[in-house]
Structure 1
Amino acid sequence: MTAPIETLEFQSEARQLLQLMIHSIYSNKDTFLRELVSNASDALDKLRLEAFRDKELQADTSDLHVAIEIDSEQRTLTVRDNGIGMSRDEVISLIGTIAKSGTAEFLRKLKESQDAAASQELIGQFGVGFYASFMVADKVTLVTRKAGSDEGVRWESEGAGTYTIEPVADAPQGTAVTLHLKPVDAEDQLFDYTSAAKVREIVKRYSDFLTWPIRMAAEPTEEGAEPTVETVNSMKALWARASSEVTEQEYTEFYKHISHDWNDPLETVRFQAEGTFEYQALLFIPSRAPMDLFMRERKRGVQLYVKRVFIMDDCEALMPEYLRFVKGVVDAADLSLNVSREILQQDRQIQLIRKRLVKRVLSTVKSLDAEKYGTFWKEFGRAVKEGLLDDFDNREAILEICSFESTHDADKPTRLAQYVERMKEGQEHIYYLTGESRTAIENSPHLEAFQAKGFEVLVLTDPIDEMWVDAVPGFEGKQFQSIAKGQVDLDENQDEEQKAEFAGLLTWMGSALEEHVKEVRLSSRLTTSPACIVGDSHDMTPTLEKMYRAMGQQLPQIKRILELNPGHPLVAGLRAAHAERPEDERLPETAELIYGMALLAEGGELGDPSRFVKLLANRLEQSL
């Protein structure tokens, strides 16, 4: 009995992406072939590795290759491999559903994009793999059989939102993708993929470095001659070739092959280690952050080979979390082929390789020219700063490549070395202030005296900044100092007589506000505001406290310090009123209002907003 053909629907995001490809105006349609050949190469890698690990696997590995077949009469192009293949469930999950992180975000951005150029850029940024076939084909047929299985699967779709799937009894091992090509306009001959010369040119440009042979029918030398098959790629691993033999274009295409990024890399990092253990590395720093850079389910790490044999994608043991955007290949000479992810975490050689890779990446970033560095920091700066918490050994090197906004130049971030060069004579600290936005920080009362006296302050607005500043002691011998924490002595003129004048007020206000603050004292950081709230040197910042509470952490109440500006008329008037009328019932309300205003000025939240509004309304009414 013949098994029925099932008709299934694509997942909604896959359906949207299919429509995008079908109606795409993306100019570089040639990349569909790169994607299919890349998938075929991956399938061959996986079969060789699986056959090594599973000696019982019933699979033919004697002649692993990719074949490209053209039928100009039927207008079909087939990319065939004899690799690992897919089961029915794998076909549905890998093709009928898009599991790639960031797809929904990609589609949202595409909908928001109104002009064609921006749409093309987004298509190129995302990289759409198998779905790119629908840019050039109006029907795609896939026949596959998983290595070790007896039954194959046929999948077919015209991209209209559904696909058919059925079992196939006599399918060969591996996967064959057949594209039923769209008609070609007379003006569009550049995109005629039934031309063998065109296909060869694409393979040489995009896939020459693949280590598996890519075979095509050779051009006949004379009429009536028997057709022969030739290998159209050089099959030389890029990292194994002398650097003088590799062009920038080849590096770029190799990067796109392993990263599935359609943008050129920002920088290429290549080196070779010899001695007690040998390895070669070819790494790339992307020019664009992937959409899933800050998603939990993202994959990271570089590809691991042992003596040219592919071992695994995304080898996390070779690259730390904060450099998760780095792509590339490491080929080790002395590791076991049968190595697992768990073993890699403990392997001494892997740990030493990782240490050298990290140092090389950081030194490469440090040496980038100004334009490339600006791009790098804009795209990956937030991720890199995570290393200040995680990588103690390289902390100084990470600080050297960090940039921060500062009060020196609102339009241009500064590196710490530049900040240190500009420090005022006698300045011992690198001053900073954390906050939710630059605007909030620039309007903060904490900044007043520093701006008035010409001290540069780092403006730190990333959530990660709240954490690393407490963990990192300093840079080049200069300690980091929050201008919103601890004592700041900027007022050389604040004398003992003034402190004595305000002693009574400070004691009384400390008692009146003891529910809210741990201390009331005079400030040297204020010039125009009456008061501000500061933390003790080792207190958690309000923003960090809010982050922990949002994550469900139970924290004790953290009381902070209220600082008063002795030169402000409101504070001076309150001191005089307290000295003359200490029993006046309105004085505690004034103290409460001053505290509330200081809290609001730093972007804090009032404990009882309605009471504050009532007190303020009453006081305004009395002033009329």
Structure 2
Amino acid sequence: MRTFKTESKKLLDLMINSIYTNREIFLRELVSNASDAIDKLYLKSLTDSSMGLDQANLAINVAFDKDARTITVSDNGIGMTEAELEENLGTIAHSGSEAFKEANAEAQGDAVDIIGRFGVGFYSAFMVAKEVSVVTRAWGADECFRWTSDGVEGYEIEPVAADDPAWRDSCGTSIVLTLKDDTEDASYDEFLSEWKLRELIRRYSNYVRYPVQMLVTKSREKERPADAGDDYKPEWEDYTELETVNSMTPIWKKRASEVTDEEYAEFYKSTFHDWADPARTFSLHAEGTLEYDALMFIPGQAPFDLYSRDYEKGLELYSSNVLIMEKCADLLPDYYNFVRGVVDSADVSLNISRETLQQTRQLQAMARRIEKKITGELEAMRDDDREAYEKFFENFGRGLKYGIYSSYGMKADELAGLLLFWSARDQKMVTLREYVAAMPSGQKAIYYAAGDDRDRLSKMPVVQAVLDRGFDVLLCTQDVDEFCFQAMREFTAKGLPKAYADDAAREAAEKAAADGAEPEVEDRTVELRNVTSGDLDLASDDEKKAAEEATKANEGLFGAMKDALGEKVEKVAVSTRLSADGAPAVITSEGPLSLEMEKVLASGPEAEHAPKAVRVLEVNAAHPVFEKLRAAQEAGDEDKVALYAGLLYNQALLVEGILPEDPVAFASQVCELM
């Protein structure tokens, strides 16, 4: 027995038990090696026309014997001599394919794609096999050799006699794995089935460029006997047939003009196990220092577990048409976690084996380009097919908003333009840019209201007050909306028609445009304001003056109301946002924490420690109720003032969708008033 070169025991144990963690990839590695062997033979035929190689006959064969507990992977590639067996399989981590690839780099092209790289893939066979036998015959050689090892101490190389059943009549290699016995912790019998082997080939090696063939069992109806009577019942029989079980040509390598929408949809549904067609399909082909192909899909519906902790994002990553990772999370940002697809590149940096990916600038460059492509496709969908985009946003918009919030607003420039919100004025979904473009002169901010119900929000006094002034309000009903806007703080609408300070400037610009000049555009940055927060600065000078006078004239009343409400409010003030026929009072907040944010935080896991909004009770001095308050204060009826203050406060809370702290006491107060 010959011993392995290098520190055989330690290194081989590392190869088998540490580098690879998923034992089922052994078949992927052996099929990839077989593909390389055929590629080498084909490349040789390109420079030696006397070989007379028939490319149509090049194939890889996979078979199993359940009784003998063996799996055989055969190819009719270039084969190996005794010296090559010694060099390639006797020296661990020596890659014959890698050396061949470097030596023949200029001769390779689209027709040849050597997969191997590190020379450790072959040893993955020992994860499932207690013995591996390699029978090979090199091109042009008369001798056939067998390499045998148990993967522990060493190996043997011996010639194969012509009368040996293992003798090969032509060049190529056959690898026979004798599987390990089952244990309590591991079952190896699962690999001794037609279904399992076909499933592994289709998952990992479906796009290897050569046919991977297997004898598969099929069923057919027996021929009806000539003398069969009317009561004859059809009989069926099983038979085996050699079948190609891989697709060979990746759909992402084809030109878009060669693939129909139906074929893309079928690939998407079968690959990613979705019953609905994708909402959008797009591809990316990069050339230069880093070459790769990508085919991506935006699902037509959100998976049920999209927002659960168990959901895994990522694109399928292939290297030279061989599946490396089923979900490469590093290729997608979290806010695009819904995108499905494949990326294929021979240039990705693998770490020792095809199972481990290095974190490199190459991967980062691919991720940036993919992110930019996804953003561009979403923008195109938003502009060209609004109905489809609104459906997409209904499914996945929450993730885009969370992307802005989780990045502390750093991703707002990329994502804010993709957001949609319900316009209270226009009664439809609008983008932030559309909102800003429709703002009347004099409007200083984007106004929004956050809550859990659109209909309730539209009826809120603070919303109506803004609408009455001719300004639109965005109605936000997702719990992440308020946090998203707080992270953004402002929005810049780019490329809007320029707003002119006076009629003369506008007329001059219109004349210039009529003479052929390009219309002037500008970027407009506006603040985002919650209609329940602080002073919106919507009041006229006269309204502000009237509020100041009312506040000064009723300091005693407001002080008594504040004393009655205690720590529930920071202060009681005259509202400048409510009209005479509006609500008698509203609850607003001061500082960064709004009432809606308080509600969301209070429903979370840290509800006991959730912060509270700084509440302000704004009273409508033009409402008849205010006169009742003044009358009670002037009459010295402190109990009635306290009663009215509590009723107004709890009523304002209900309008905000917040239950009074003591609903029973509130009901009693209403009954007392009645």
**What's the TM-score once normalised by structure 1's chain length?**
0.64
Does 1:48 pair with 2:24? no
Give the conservation status (yes or no) of the 8 Å contact 2:331–2:363: yes
Q: d(CA) in 2 for partners of 1:385 and 1:539?
A: 18
Q: CA deviation at 1:246?
A: 3.0
Give the conservation status (yes or no) of the 8 Å contact 2:59–2:213: no
Q: SS at the partner of 1:513? A: helix
Alignment match, 1:610: 664
Does 1:451 pair with 2:451? no
Q: SS at the partner of 2:670? A: helix
Q: d(CA) in 1 for partners of 2:293 and 2:590?
A: 50
Alignment match, 1:77: none
Does 1:403 pair with 2:444? no
Return closer, same or farther for 1:256/1:43 CA change in 2, 3 Å cut-off.
farther
Does 1:502 pair with 2:551? yes
Return closer, same or farther for 1:566/1:603 CA change in 2, 3 Å cut-off.
same
Q: Could you tell me which of 288, 311, 326 is aligned with 1:298?
A: 311
Q: CA deviation at 1:413?
A: 1.1
Q: d(CA) in 2 for partners of 1:471 and 1:64?
A: 56
Amino acid at match of 1:213: P
Q: d(CA) in 2 for partners of 1:618 and 1:256?
A: 65
Does 1:278 pair with 2:291? yes
Alignment match, 2:618: 563
Return closer, same or farther for 1:266/1:497 CA change in 2, 3 Å cut-off.
closer
Give the conservation status (yes or no) of the 8 Å contact 2:349–2:360: no
Alignment match, 2:103: none
Moved more, 392-401 or 335-344: 335-344
Q: d(CA) in 2 for partners of 1:490 and 1:467?
A: 24
Give the conservation status (yes or no) of the 8 Å contact 1:216–1:232: yes
Q: CA deviation at 1:468?
A: 0.8
Return closer, same or farther for 1:544/1:278 CA change in 2, 3 Å cut-off.
farther
Give the conservation status (yes or no) of the 8 Å contact 2:349–2:357: no
Q: SS at the partner of 1:349? A: helix
Return closer, same or farther for 1:404/1:607 CA change in 2, 3 Å cut-off.
same
Q: d(CA) in 1 for partners of 2:327 and 2:247?
A: 26
**How many equivalent residue pairs?**
457
Q: SS at the partner of 1:177? A: helix
Aligned-residue RMSD, C-alpha: 4.1
Amino acid at match of 1:402: L
Instruction: Map residues 308-457 of structure 1 onto 2, 5 A cutoff.
Output: 308-338=321-351, 346-368=359-381, 369-391=385-407, 392-410=409-427, 412-457=428-473
Q: CA deviation at 1:81?
A: 11
Alignment match, 2:511: none
Q: SS at the partner of 1:550? A: coil
Does 1:483 pair with 2:463? no
Q: CA deviation at 1:346?
A: 4.2
Q: CA deviation at 1:454?
A: 2.3
**Structure 2: gaps of 5 or more residues:** 1-21, 34-57, 65-70, 74-121, 129-176, 197-201, 219-239, 493-524
Return closer, same or farther for 1:50/1:383 CA change in 2, 3 Å cut-off.
farther
Does 1:469 pair with 2:468? no
Q: CA deviation at 1:462?
A: 0.7
Q: SS at the partner of 2:279? A: strand
Return closer, same or farther for 1:81/1:519 CA change in 2, 3 Å cut-off.
farther
Q: SS at the partner of 2:642? A: helix
Q: CA deviation at 1:434?
A: 0.3
Q: What CA deviation, in whole Å up to 9, does each residue of 1:544-581 have, x standing for no partner?
A: 44435531251354431111111110013312432x22
Q: CA deviation at 1:148?
A: 7.4
**Structure 1: gaps of 5 or more residues:** 1-41, 54-61, 69-79, 89-146, 154-166, 179-203, 220-226
Q: CA deviation at 1:259?
A: 0.8
Alignment match, 1:138: none
Q: d(CA) in 2 for partners of 1:228 and 1:557?
A: 72
Alignment match, 1:150: 180
Give the conservation status (yes or no) of the 8 Å contact 1:449–1:490: no
Q: d(CA) in 1 for partners of 2:485 and 2:187?
A: 61
Q: CA deviation at 1:44?
A: 7.6
Instruction: Map residues 179-258 of structure 1 onto 2, 5 A cutoff.
Output: 213=211, 215=213, 229=242, 231=244, 235-258=248-271
Give the conservation status (yes or no) of the 8 Å contact 1:281–1:331: yes
Q: CA deviation at 1:46?
A: 6.6
Q: What CA deviation, in whole Å up to 9, does each residue of 1:106-149 have, x standing for no partner?
A: xxxxxxxxxxxxxxxxxxxxxxxxxxxxxxxxxxxxxxxxx874
Return closer, same or farther for 1:48/1:372 CA change in 2, 3 Å cut-off.
same
Q: SS at the partner of 1:458? A: strand
Alignment match, 2:195: 177
Return closer, same or farther for 1:585/1:376 CA change in 2, 3 Å cut-off.
closer
Amino acid at match of 1:321: D
Return closer, same or farther for 1:81/1:490 CA change in 2, 3 Å cut-off.
farther
Q: SS at the partner of 1:262? A: coil
Q: SS at the partner of 1:295? A: coil
Moved more, 419-428 or 381-390: 381-390
Q: CA deviation at 1:364?
A: 0.2
Give the conservation status (yes or no) of the 8 Å contact 2:650–2:666: yes
Q: SS at the partner of 2:448? A: strand
Q: SS at the partner of 1:337? A: coil
User: Identity across aligned pairs (percent)?
Assistant: 34
Give the conservation status (yes or no) of the 8 Å contact 1:520–1:564: yes
Q: d(CA) in 2 for partners of 1:371 and 1:209?
A: 36
Q: Could you tell me which of 641, 647, 669 is aligned with 1:587?
A: 641
Q: d(CA) in 1 for partners of 2:568 and 2:187?
A: 75
Q: d(CA) in 1 for partners of 2:356 and 2:195?
A: 37
Q: What CA deviation, in whole Å up to 9, does each residue of 1:206-238 have, x standing for no partner?
A: x9967673647899xxxxxxx984648651122
Q: d(CA) in 2 for partners of 1:211 and 1:45?
A: 18
**What's the TM-score once normalised by structure 2's chain length?**
0.60
Return closer, same or farther for 1:498/1:409 CA change in 2, 3 Å cut-off.
closer
Using CA pairs under 8 Å that are at least 6 residues apart, name the structure with larger relative contact order, 1 or 2.
1
Return closer, same or farther for 1:267/1:394 CA change in 2, 3 Å cut-off.
same
Q: CA deviation at 1:52?
A: 9.2
Q: CA deviation at 1:286?
A: 1.2
Q: d(CA) in 1 for partners of 2:72 and 2:355?
A: 31
Alignment match, 2:152: none
Instruction: Map residues 120-159 of structure 1 onto 2, 5 A cutoff.
Output: 149-151=179-181
Return closer, same or farther for 1:232/1:349 CA change in 2, 3 Å cut-off.
closer
Return closer, same or farther for 1:340/1:81 CA change in 2, 3 Å cut-off.
closer
Alignment match, 1:125: none
Q: CA deviation at 1:498?
A: 4.4
Return closer, same or farther for 1:585/1:243 CA change in 2, 3 Å cut-off.
closer
Q: CA deviation at 1:531?
A: 0.5
Q: CA deviation at 1:388?
A: 1.4
Moved more, 506-515 or 360-369: 506-515
Amino acid at match of 1:330: V
Q: SS at the partner of 1:514? A: helix
Instruction: Map residues 514-525 of structure 1 onto 2, 5 A cutoff.
Output: 514-525=566-577
